[in-house]
Amino acid sequence: MIAEYTAPVTAVDRRTFVSAAVAALAASGRAGRPAAAAVPEATGRTWRVDGARLARRLKDLSRFGANAQGGVSRVAFSPADVEGRAFVMEMMRGAGLEVRVDPVGNIFGRRTGLLPAAAPILFGSHIDSVPEGGNYDGDVGSMSAIEVAQVLGEKGYRNRNPLEVAIWCDEESGLTGSRGFVGDLTTEDLARPSRNGAPLAENIRRLGGDPERLAEARHAKGAVAAYLELHIEQGGTLDAAGIPIGVVEGIVGIHHYEVTVRGFANHAGTTPMDKRRNALLAASEIVLAVDRIVRSVPGRQVGTVGRLVVRPGAPNVIPGEASFTIELRDLKAETIESLWSRIEPEARAIVERQGCTMEYVLSPPDRPALTDARMRDLIAGVADDLGLRHLSLPSGAGHDAQELARIAPMGMIFIPSVGGISHSPKEYSRPEDIANGANVLLQAVLRLDQKALEAGS
Ligand SMILES: [Zn+2]
């Protein structure tokens, strides 16, 4: 659905016009010679963001939902979120962008291009936070995207493709806005209550969205030329290595299992040791097995038992039931499946030996989302040209970019999180690292606009 990207011509039907425009873009890119309408290819190579102004944007935004610990609680749909969004929309207008809110509550700021019917290049992030979160998760990418738009405006840049800053709605509790944008949000989802108890549809209305028009928020493959997101790493790899830029390989897939082991709850004083069916004992062995199996193969896969509930949970009763979670993450779904194919039979053997039974449920898995190889090359090339060292790494956390990857070539730029701390008021990224990331974003956007991805759009 690309209803809002209206072609300026009525003589040809829009689809014909769009495909012609896209073909022209691709052709000019291949020939290495700009089309008549385009700016010269190397325009803006020396342009840089204003680091001090970017730091000020972040500081100004941090007022909305500021908490005593020095962080922010700007949970989606809260008054702080509503006020923060209004502030950000003003900031976007100040950067020369045409601002609109889509039916699922995403904010877009558009710079119409010389080819207004061409698929837009999107870049941005989110400004909602977890409860008692920090001032960098989402905010760095959002404020940098606006700063990039401001620089393009000040330099009088004549973009070819439409450029759009995207501020996705409700990233933290389920990627609501980006899922709506790619068509992965259903009317049933809209009826379900959000964390604040109100149905999602009502919450979206509070942000100026129009959930009745859900279908109009959806975008098919090809409707977006490319998506770029700058984000803090949220882990400690870049900080520990002293490397300023991360080129994200992809966002890991997640398999989440709810496991229940049943034994027999009996008197802890009168039941001899050889007559017990202790569910916790079996669960404990499984916890150790998960850790051992996940470590046993090379790679960056992770496996965690993060919750364990024992019933009846009394000091003088042998645990009759233990329910726990097993979470496996990796960039490759096959790795996750192969780990589970070893964990599952071993868990069964443990349970049997302990005289217990086991059942488990796998929640709908989050599939891994790989970044586009051309986008990775673009980001690495830009970092090289800026003299910034870079490292390829996976994202262990989820991002809106994983949804965008379903419909467009997607790339992500990471900057260091000091100490690898995130989702905490202690989350911190250095101003120089933020400015470096924003400069990579600026240059990557310019190059995308001047040279369409081979076989892209
Ligand atoms: Zn985030």
Cα(429) to ligand 1 centroid in Å equals: 13
Cα(142) to ligand 1 centroid in Å equals: 10
Residue 270 has pLDDT above 60, yes or no: yes
The pLDDT tens digits for 204-234 are 999 999 999 999 999 999 999 999 999 999 9
Residues of the chain with CATH 3.40.630.10: 14-251+368-450
Cα(5) to ligand 1 centroid in Å equals: 27
Cα(445) to ligand 1 centroid in Å equals: 20
The pLDDT tens digits for 80-103 are 999 999 999 999 999 999 999 999
148 compared with 451, residue with greater pLDDT: 148
Question: What does the radius of gyration of the chain's CA atoms come to, in whole angstroms?
Answer: 25
Cα(233) to ligand 1 centroid in Å equals: 9
Calculate the CA dihedral of residues 66, 72, 76, 82 and round it to 10 degrees. 20
Length of the chain equals 457
At residue 94, the 3 state secondary structure works out as: helix
The CATH code of domain 14-251+368-450 reads 3.40.630.10
The answer to whether 21 and 9 have CB atoms below 8 angstroms apart is no
344 compared with 26, residue with greater pLDDT: 344
Q: What is the DSSP string of 251-320?
A: E-EEEEEEEEEE----BTTTS-GGG---HHHHHHHHHHHHHHHHHTSSSS-EEE---EEEES--TTB---
The candidate with the shortest Cα–Cα distance to 64, out of 52, 55, 53, 76, is 76
Q: What is the DSSP string of 418-434?
A: GGG--SSTT----HHHH
Residue 177 has pLDDT above 70, yes or no: yes
At residue 394 the predicted structure's pLDDT band, cuts being 50, 70 and 90, is very high
Yes or no: domain 253-362 corresponds to CATH 3.30.70.360: yes
Cα(171) to ligand 1 centroid in Å equals: 7
Cα(313) to ligand 1 centroid in Å equals: 37
At residue 452 the predicted structure's pLDDT band, cuts being 50, 70 and 90, is low
At residue 39 the predicted structure's pLDDT band, cuts being 50, 70 and 90, is low
Residue 301 has pLDDT above 50, yes or no: yes
Residues of the chain with CATH 3.30.70.360: 253-362
Residue 304 has pLDDT above 90, yes or no: yes
Q: Is the pTM of this model over 0.85?
A: no
List, as ranges, residues with CB under 5 A of the ion ligand 1: 137-138
